[in-house]
Amino acid sequence: MNYLPQITRRLHHCRDLSDSEPFDFITWFEYAPQDAGRFDELARELRRTPEWQYVEREIDIRLQAA
């Protein structure tokens, strides 16, 4: 909640996308380029949570509108 409205999130359970996806969940974050630092801060906080011990694979892909 500390990062709203600058950063928004969508969580997808992969069984809803395809049976052959290599991930259980995909989380999609959106933010304006000027809020990239806030997103980095959010990611650091998430990595420090107890739940993060269950993360087996993390892939950070950043797309930018042309």
User: In the chain, what's the furthest Cα-to-Cα distance?
Assistant: 37
**Model pTM score:** 0.75
The pLDDT assigned to 40 comes to 96
The pLDDT assigned to 17 comes to 62
Instruction: Kindly state the tokens that stand for 18.
Output: 């395809």
Mean pLDDT (the chain) is 86
Q: What angle do CA 31, 42, 37 make, to 5 degrees?
A: 55
- Condensed to tens digits (0 to 9), the pLDDT of residues 3-31 reads 889 999 988 777 666 666 666 778 889 99
C-alpha to C-alpha distance for 30 and 37, rounded to whole angstroms: 13
The pLDDT assigned to 64 comes to 85
The pLDDT assigned to 30 comes to 93
